[in-house]
């Protein structure tokens, strides 16, 4: 089957959400890693709750609420001197080390991004990181007011890119996203980084394992740079 487009998840796949630890630790001495992990876990939980409750708030607001939860859970008051720089860090996340090399190697193909992030968050993140030279389309779930893995989010791809779902290779490091994309009908490549490598964290154990829901990816690879070989 011909692959007409590659569609990437943003947070965790192209961008390292744990890279904000460098900002969190000076602001929350001795608690930076705890805050960073709690923040991401709660952020995802809030997207699912918002979708189920049908009380949509955009990803910037969800991220802020999750940060306030994480800070208070870690015993840090979410004052603006702490909250503001941490929130701004979401616009300056580090790409994973191999992201630029991988995208450059895929040049000439239709490359897009589908993310929970707001249009502003995605636009600034792509521009600040320089990945906008390869990612030609950034799709936000804001358009359907739901969060992945709701099917309406993945449905944005076909109309925006003019391709059939069977012609899409969806790329994500998030196992819940893999399940959603595969269930929708995309071919899916799961980026499973550091499998069995570094000392496990709660975040790693929850997000770094396949979900036990019976929807396996088509491909499991350790890095984005393994994508060209699949094509």
φ and ψ at residue 108, rounded to 5 degrees: 95, -15
Cβ pair 178, 188 in contact under 8 A: yes
* From 9, 16, 58, 177, the catalytic residue: 9
Of 37, 15, 35, 38, give the one whose Cα is nearest residue 26. 35
CA angle 21, 114, 147 (to 5 degrees): 80
C-alpha closest to that of 223 among 203, 185, 197: 197
Residue 218 among the catalytic residues:
no
Length of the chain: 231
Eight-state DSSP code of residue 11: B
Between the CA of residue 54 and those of 25, 47, 153, 160, 175, what are the distances in Å?
35, 10, 14, 24, 23
Catalytic residues, which ones?
A: 9
């Amino acid at each position: 089957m011909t692959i007409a487009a590659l569609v990437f998840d943003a947070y965790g796949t192209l961008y390292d959400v744990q890279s904000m630890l460098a900002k969190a630790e000076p602001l929350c001495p001795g608690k930076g890693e705890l805050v960073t992990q709690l923040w991401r876990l709660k952020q995802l939980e809030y997207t699912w709750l918002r979708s189920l409750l049908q009380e949509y708030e955009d990803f910037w607001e969800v991220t802020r609420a999750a940060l306030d939860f994480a800070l208070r859970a870690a015993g840090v008051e979410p004052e603006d001197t702490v909250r503001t720089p941490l929130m701004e860090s979401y616009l300056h996340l580090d790409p994973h080390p191999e992201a630029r090399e991988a995208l450059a190697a895929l040049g000439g193909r239709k490359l897009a991004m589908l993310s929970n992030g707001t249009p502003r968050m995605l636009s600034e993140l792509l521009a600040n990181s320089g990945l906008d030279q390869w990612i030609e389309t950034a799709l936000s779930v804001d358009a359907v007011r739901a969060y992945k893995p709701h099917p309406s989010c993945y449905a944005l791809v076909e109309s925006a890119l003019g391709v059939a779902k069977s012609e899409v290779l969806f790329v994500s490091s998030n196992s819940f996203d893999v399940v959603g994309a595969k269930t929708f009908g995309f071919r899916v490549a799961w980026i499973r980084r550091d499998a069995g490598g570094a000392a496990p964290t709660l975040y790693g154990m929850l997000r770094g394992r396949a979900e036990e829901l019976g929807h396996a990816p088509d491909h499991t690879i350790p890095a984005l740079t393994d994508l060209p070989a699949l094509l």
